[in-house]
Amino acid sequence: MTTTGTGSTLRTTATTSAGTGSAAGTARDVGHEHAWTTDSRHRTSAGYVLYVRCTACGAHRVDLQRRTDAPPAPLSRAAGGASRAPTPA
């Protein structure tokens, strides 16, 4: 998984694990690249817990940012959100 961005919006591209066919930290294939924005951020003993939402489909996820100079890592899979996959004709 690749996470890029600054501020409160992050873009995440899912990559599959070799040989497993599963994408780490992502929901089902939604047909788009998630653009995560932070809904809330809370300091904990492990770092900052971030509750994030995809601006495109509304999916939610929980991330952990252990250090302020490092990008957050997903603690949960994306949940909810509308699928943006094309509808068969």
Identify the pLDDT of residue 33. Answer: 87
What are the residues facing 61 on neighbouring strands? 52
Identify the pLDDT of residue 72. Answer: 94
Which sequence spans correspond to the domains of the chain?
1-13+36-77
Identify the pLDDT of residue 89. Answer: 55
- Distance, in Å, from the CA atom of 59 to the CA atom of 42, rounded to the nearest integer, reads 20
Are 24 and 12 in contact by the 8 Å Cβ rule? The answer is no
Give pLDDT tens digits for 6-63: 445 555 544 333 333 333 444 455 678 889 999 999 999 999 999 999 999 999 999 9
- Count Cβ atoms within 10 A of the Cβ of residue 3 and give its class: 0-12 exposed, 13-18 middle, 19 or more buried: middle
Q: Is the pTM of this model over 0.75?
A: no
- Distance, in Å, from the CA atom of 23 to the CA atom of 20, rounded to the nearest integer, reads 9
Q: Vertex 44, ends 50 and 25: CA angle to 5°?
A: 40
- Distance, in Å, from the CA atom of 52 to the CA atom of 39, rounded to the nearest integer, reads 5
